[in-house]
Amino acid sequence: MKEIYNIFTKSPFGILNDHIIKVGECVKAIRPLLAHMLNEEFDQLPAAMKVITKLEHEADELKDEVREHLPKSIFMPVSREDVLKLLHRQDNIADFCEDIAVITCVRNTTLPKSMHPMFNDFVDSVIITADATVAVIRRLNELMETTFTGPSAEEVLKNIEKVGKLEWETDKKKFELVKQLFEHEDEIGPVSTMILTKLFDVISGVADSSENAANAIRLMISK
């Protein structure tokens, strides 16, 4: 059975692993983009956006490869439907990263300096949540070799619980951030308030999608 797993690990599951690694690179690329926004280095935003859109495109190419190489029936303890669900949720993470880049670049918008520490803490929390999900998904091959049972599965389930807690903490930080933003509404104006609220939503979407992707692994283990 292990030999069969190894064959499939190279195609398509090796590509699925490459995809989540690329998604993780997309997430990390939002940090310099948002730093340019905070520092009002608006001339640097297009180049930072280009990095993210390139990574997202590369992730899309890997996504297509997974779909092309995924057999209609797999002799493994995981269904084709579950693999495609995981792939879709991984893809959502990269899509939100691209959305962040678009919203940041569509208009030069400033965030009050008093909010910078809270905003950076929020972004850090989102990136940590995504990193934790990448670590979970990169253990998929190991889980398949152990047929989603045993100590490996138990450890991964604990890590998925941690992802859920991280996402919950991120939600709380976003709530406080939005509250503080509305206290500055008169100062920054309604348009900036609207754009920043949307930006907070899509940044939070990275963490939400990360939790959803981790839960796709939980579903595989529970079957």
Counting beta carbons within 10 angstroms of the beta carbon of residue 30, is it exposed (0 to 12), middle (13 to 18) or buried (19 or more)? Answer: buried
Q: What is the pLDDT of residues 109-137, one digit of tens each?
A: 999 999 999 999 999 999 999 999 999 99
Out of 2.102.10.10, 2.40.10.480, 3.40.50.1000, 1.20.58.220, the CATH code matching 2-222 is: 1.20.58.220
Q: How high is the mean pLDDT of the chain?
A: 93
Region class of 147: left (phi > 0), else alpha (psi between -120 and 50), else beta? left
Please check the confidence at residue 187 and state whether its pLDDT lies above 70: yes
pTM for this one?
0.93
Q: What is the pLDDT of residues 136-181, one digit of tens each?
A: 999 998 998 888 999 999 999 999 999 999 999 999 999 999 999 9
The CA distance from 61 to 56, in Å, is 9
pLDDT band with cut points at 50, 70 and 90 for residue 71: confident
Q: How far is CA 173 from CA 9, 107, 156, 195, in A?
A: 38, 24, 26, 18
> What one-character-per-residue DSSP string does 68-108 give?
HH--SS-SSSS-HHHHHHHHHHHHHHHHHHHHHHHHHHHS-
